[in-house]
């Protein structure tokens, strides 16, 4: 018998019916709605991509539900453990924290949109609680308490817009952005909005994207986010990206004199010396140190002798013009010696939850 595949199914109705069966079977293994939906979605993606890998549909669904539920739990456990270990540097405490958080998550009936975000926040809170109970770690607790609690993943603009109430949108957006977004919402599609304004659909989508980017930046700033490009409004984000691309381009060409557009003649030699090793931006982070003043951390891992991290401080005026106010090398990044990795306890980080435990906690 030939292997049946999804692409051979004739209608969307068949796919919907299979999806319902998948979700129903997944719920037999895990009663947590948010996680069950995520697992079902992953199985659906596999269904579209690879088709059904065996002749019997029921057997395929059962096998997928069982294996993917187990792999998801292992993935989430590993995610929690490594973040807890990063915070505590204590494998035993990290293991205890992970178990507490995972059990609490599986027992939770609250709606969870971003699962890893919920888990990361819970790990952070649980660790802070353990710090407060341990006098030896009070100083660490005081330092961490001054930092905003972390989020795991950037929120998606469209999801954020739909999840916020109108009053929140009005508070977070400028008056002009709020008015324009409301007008866009009054039309059935963005194409209809574009026609009403006499512009093309691409321009209308770009305008909506910029408004939603501003919304996300305002929302994340309000939540206490730092060191992420997502804290920037659309105009500032585009400007800083252009600035970073220029820095890399001038370094590759050895044409540092052209950077005078961004700094004073007195600052130029320091900028040239500090930035000349940067050939490619592997990652970058940003924090606001004052209104319209930012500190940008730039990381380049292409150097054979090890990663390079430099910090550039900039100011942006009302015309969105960037000036470099300071820059320096940073020694806050390094490579863990391979010999140190041998001391990592192999028995730590292992998931302690059996499939029977998962079923018990979620049903």
301/333 Cα distance (integer angstroms): 11
| Model pLDDT, residue 239 | 87
| Model pLDDT, residue 333 | 43
Tell me phi and psi for residue 284, to 5 degrees: -150, 150
CATH 2.60.40 holds for 234-329: no
| Model pLDDT, residue 126 | 81
| Model pLDDT, residue 151 | 44
| Model pLDDT, residue 345 | 47
Enumerate residue ranges in the chain where pLDDT < 70: 1-15, 46-55, 110-113, 131-159, 221-231, 301, 304-307, 330-350, 353, 363
pTM of the model: 0.44
The residue among 262, 249, 260, 210 whose CA lies nearest residue 232 is 210
| Model pLDDT, residue 4 | 44
**Largest alpha-carbon pair distance within the chain?**
78
**Please, is 150 exposed, middle or buried when counting C-beta atoms within 10 Å of its C-beta (0-12, 13-18, 19+)?**
middle
**Please, is 66 exposed, middle or buried when counting C-beta atoms within 10 Å of its C-beta (0-12, 13-18, 19+)?**
middle
Give residue limits of the domains in the chain. 6-146, 157-225, 234-329
| Model pLDDT, residue 23 | 83
H or E element at residue 27: helix 12-29
Looking only at the bridges linking them, the beta strands covering 308-316 and 322-329 are: antiparallel
- pLDDT, tens only, 25-73: 888 888 778 788 878 877 777 666 666 666 677 888 888 888 888 888 8
Compute how many other C-beta atoms are within 10 angstroms of the C-beta atom of residue 144: 15
328/355 Cα distance (integer angstroms): 51
Assign domain 157-225 one CATH number from 1.10.1060, 1.10.287, 1.10.10, 2.60.120: 1.10.10
| Model pLDDT, residue 212 | 87
- pLDDT, tens only, 115-159: 777 788 788 778 777 766 665 555 555 555 555 444 444 456 666
Count the helices and strands in the chain (H runs, E runs): 15, 4
Contact 54, 90 (CB under 8 A): no
Looking only at the bridges linking them, the beta strands covering 293-300 and 308-316 are: antiparallel
Q: Residue holding tokens 């059935």?
A: 188
207/295 Cα distance (integer angstroms): 28
């Amino acid at each position: 018998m030939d292997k049946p595949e999804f692409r051979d199914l004739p209608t969307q109705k068949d796919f919907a019916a299979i999806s319902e069966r998948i979700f129903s079977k997944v719920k037999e293994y895990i009663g947590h709605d948010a996680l069950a939906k995520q697992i079902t979605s992953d199985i659906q993606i596999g269904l579209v991509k690879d088709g059904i890998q065996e002749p019997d549909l029921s057997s395929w669904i059962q096998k997928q539900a069982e294996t993917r539920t187990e792999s998801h739990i292992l993935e989430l456990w590993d995610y929690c453990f490594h973040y807890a270990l990063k915070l505590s540097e204590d494998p035993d405490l990290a293991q205890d924290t992970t178990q507490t958080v995972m059990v609490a998550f599986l027992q939770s009936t609250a709606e969870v949109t971003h699962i890893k975000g919920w888990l990361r926040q819970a790990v952070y809170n649980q660790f802070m609680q353990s710090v407060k109970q341990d006098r030896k770690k009070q100083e660490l607790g005081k330092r961490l308490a001054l930092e905003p609690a972390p989020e795991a993943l950037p929120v998606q603009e469209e999801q954020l817009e739909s999840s916020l109430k109108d009053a929140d949108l009005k508070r977070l957006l400028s008056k002009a952005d709020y008015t324009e977004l409301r007008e866009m919402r009054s039309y059935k599609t963005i194409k209809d909005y574009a026609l009403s304004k006499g512009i093309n659909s691409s321009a209308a989508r770009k305008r909506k994207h910029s408004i939603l980017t501003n919304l996300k930046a305002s929302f994340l700033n309000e939540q206490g986010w730092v060191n992420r490009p997502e804290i920037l409004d659309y105009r500032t984000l585009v400007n800083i990206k252009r600035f970073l691309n220029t820095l890399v381009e001038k370094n590759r060409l050895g044409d540092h004199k052209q950077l005078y557009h961004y700094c004073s003649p007195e600052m130029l030699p320091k900028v040239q010396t500090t930035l000349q090793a940067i050939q490619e931006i592997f990652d970058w982070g940003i924090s606001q140190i004052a209104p319209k003043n930012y500190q940008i951390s730039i990381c380049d891992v292409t150097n054979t002798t090890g990663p390079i991290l430099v910090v550039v401080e900039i100011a942006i005026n009302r015309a969105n013009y960037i000036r470099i106010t300071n820059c320096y090398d940073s020694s806050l990044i390094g490579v863990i010696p391979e010999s140190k990795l041998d001391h990592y306890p192999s028995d730590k980080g292992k998931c302690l939850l059996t499939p029977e435990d998962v079923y018990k906690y979620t049903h």
